[in-house]
Amino acid sequence: MLSVRTLTLSPRSIARLMALFVFPLHASVIGMNTPAQSLTEARVMALPASQRGPWLAYLKQSQAQMAADKAALAKEREGLAEVPDLPKQGGSGRAIPLHRDAEFYKSAEARKIGDIILSFQTPGGGWSKNLAMTEPRAKGQIYATANLPPTPQPSDDYDYPKDEKWHYISTLDNDATNTELHFLVELSAALPGHEGDAYRASALRGFEYLLKAQFPNGGWPQVWPLEGGYHDAITYNDDAVTESAEILAGVAKAAKTTNEPEEMDPATVEFLKAQGRTLPEQHAVTEDYSFAPPAMRARAKAAVAKALECILATQLSVPSADGKGKVLAVWAQQNDPLTLEPVSARNYEMPALSSGESASVMQYLMELDHPSPAVVKAINAAAAWFEAAKVTGYAWVGGRGTPGGRVWKPQPGAGPMWARYYSLTTDKPIFGDRDKTIHDDVMDLSLERRNGYSWWGAAPARALREYDEWKKKQGVLSK
């Protein structure tokens, strides 16, 4: 069992972090980002002997699944005169219609979407991201689109794929896999007879994927089977950990549940608007997990408990306001799977406290029934940090298409807003650029990165509103 503790950085890690933020290239640069380490057998073998077994088994299973996925695709391609082109790129996880009215999931349109989802499921049970999913995957067609960034990448870029032809094949990034599973259990509820059997079978394979992909300590990587680099880190980005835990909580209960609509996250709203689509009306929907077999239910229950242990163990601490010691704060965007220390993702995503991801984690914790004292403490600490870290009186002015791009400047009455990232050593906002430089002013970034990333956001405001209601419900006094 993973002990629940506040994550404390080792002296070596603190020294490395200080190097990040005291690198005087020029006045606006306060540090340089460093890459996350892959999860490897060599790293596992450096652990105490008593801890190696589960991690070695995990690596072996990951390698075996990748080999099986590749073999299945190769088998499909036998005898084909021509290998199909890559699937069309689109929104998949952010475009699949969840929270529609009950009649929609009985429709031919919904079943067509379900059939397309089934066609793109990998042999391992997961799905890729950024797929158009407007037509079924063709025989012999790879399960993923290119998934390459819009700008050219040097080989030392943190997002440079180890294999361009096998990248993000199954992933939790961009809401992939968990969104497909939500849709499938919504179909299952609407189609309880034989016509829903194929969707239930697919969902069971997806549940199995989540169970296998979970780290021995309860977290989830961004990509599984593992493909190296930051993709191997425990990933709170795009709610990978909390969404996976929520799905498995449904499996553990093995019942029909009502899933209330949530306020759409800014990335989904922006994507839908960019596609020229009208934002859909949201409804409470019924999700059916009752078909999960007893053995899977038990495994799912254990997995949810492990996920909570990981969440509590990775909550970070920051220097207290009075300078006397540290206080519990929020979470990073991703953590090393073995050390649990915050790590980088892409070149401009450095180890840091992360406000958006932390808001989602806090909301997940507030949804738990009968929270333990440790969970209550974590929630109260996160809420206190959000209150202390909020910024008012500033806003973006202009747009990404205006000359000079958008500008972050004083605006009376604006806010509250939170920076995407806060320094682990100073607890102040920090910002990254594609050249791996770290800055303390968003206006010092290159125009492309200043315009192309959500450096400031309001997601914690919703979490704080829900916190007020949660305190009333729980009878918990903030401290």
- Beta strand 394-397 with 407-410: parallel, antiparallel or unpaired? antiparallel
154 CB-near residues (< 8 Å, 6+ apart): 160
Is 174 in the active site? yes
CA dist., res. 467 & res. 249, Å (int): 22
454 neighbors 268 (Cβ within 8 angstroms): no
Contact 384, 358 (CB under 8 A): no
* Backbone phi and psi for residue 354, each to the nearest 5 degrees, phi listed first: -120, 115
pLDDT at 22: 41
First to last CA, the chain: 29
Whole-prediction pTM:
0.90
Rg (CA), the chain: 22
Grouping H, G, I as helix, E, B as strand and the rest as coil, residue 96 is: coil
| In 292-363, beta strands by DSSP E | 317-319, 326-328, 334-335, 353-354
For residue 1, the model assigns a pLDDT of 38
**Where are the strands (E) in 346-443, listed by range?**
353-354, 394-397, 407-410, 418-419, 421-422, 429-432, 437-439
- What's the pLDDT at 111? 98
Report the pLDDT value the prediction gives residue 26, as an integer from 0 to 100: 38
Residue 28: what pLDDT? Answer: 79
Instruction: Determine if the peptide bond prior to 149 is cis (ω within 30°).
Output: no
Is the alpha carbon torsion for 99, 419, 410, 462 positive or negative? positive
pLDDT at residue 2 in the model: 40
Predicted local distance difference test score (pLDDT) of residue 271: 59
List CB contacts of 430: < 8 A, sequence separation 6 or more. 21, 30, 350, 352, 419, 421, 422, 423, 438, 439, 440
Q: Output the CA torsion sign for 148, 237, 114, 277.
A: negative
Verify whether residue 451 is a known catalytic residue.
no
Q: Torsion angle, CA of 379/218/174/98, rounded to 10 degrees? A: -70
**Does residue 271 contact residue 89 with C-beta atoms inside 8 Å?**
no
**Selected catalytic residue, list 174, 178, 237, 259:** 174
Q: How far apart are CA 97 and CA 52, in angstroms?
A: 42
At residue 221, the 3 state secondary structure works out as strand
- Measured distance CA(424)–CA(470) in Å, rounded: 28
Pick out the chain residues at pLDDT < 50: 1-6, 11-12, 14-27, 477-479
> Cβ-count burial of 390 within 10 angstroms (0-12 exposed, 13-18 middle, 19+ buried)?
middle
